[in-house]
Amino acid sequence: MKLDKIVKASIFAGTSIGLGFAFVFIPNVEFISVTVFISGMYLGFPFGILIGFSTMLIYSVLNPMGSGLIHLPLLFSQLIAMAGIGGLGSAFRKIFRNMGIKTLMLVSGILGFICTVWYDMLTSLSYPLSAGYSWEESMAFAISGFMFTIIHVISNCIIFSIVVPGFIKRLNN
Residue 89 pLDDT: 96
Residue 131 pLDDT: 84
Give the CA distances from residue 162 to residues 15, 112, 122, in Å, rounded to whole numbers and listed in that order. 17, 10, 25
Q: From CA 2, how far away is CA 139, in angstroms rounded?
A: 45
Read off φ and ψ for residue 150, nearest 5 degrees: -60, -45
Residue 97 pLDDT: 79
Write the CATH number for 59.
Answer: 1.10.1760.20
Total structural domains within the chain = 1
- Of 26, 35, 14, the closest CA to residue 159 belongs to 35
Do the Cβ atoms of 125 and 138 come closer than 8 Å?
yes
Can you give the length of the chain in residues?
A: 173
Give the CA distances from residue 30 to residues 101, 126, 160, in Å, rounded to whole numbers and listed in that order. 23, 20, 11
Residue 1 pLDDT: 67
- Of 39, 107, 52, the closest CA to residue 82 belongs to 52
Q: From CA 167, how far away is CA 150, in angstroms rounded?
A: 25
| 9: containing domain | 3-172
Residue 173 pLDDT: 67
Tens place of pLDDT for every residue, the chain, 173 residues? 689 999 999 999 999 999 999 999 998 899 999 999 999 999 999 999 999 999 999 999 999 888 888 889 999 999 999 999 999 999 998 888 788 899 999 999 999 999 999 999 999 888 888 888 888 888 888 788 888 899 999 999 999 999 999 999 888 76
Do the Cβ atoms of 43 and 27 come closer than 8 Å?
no
Residue 115 pLDDT: 97
Residue 124 pLDDT: 87
User: Could you tell me the pTM of the whole model?
Assistant: 0.93
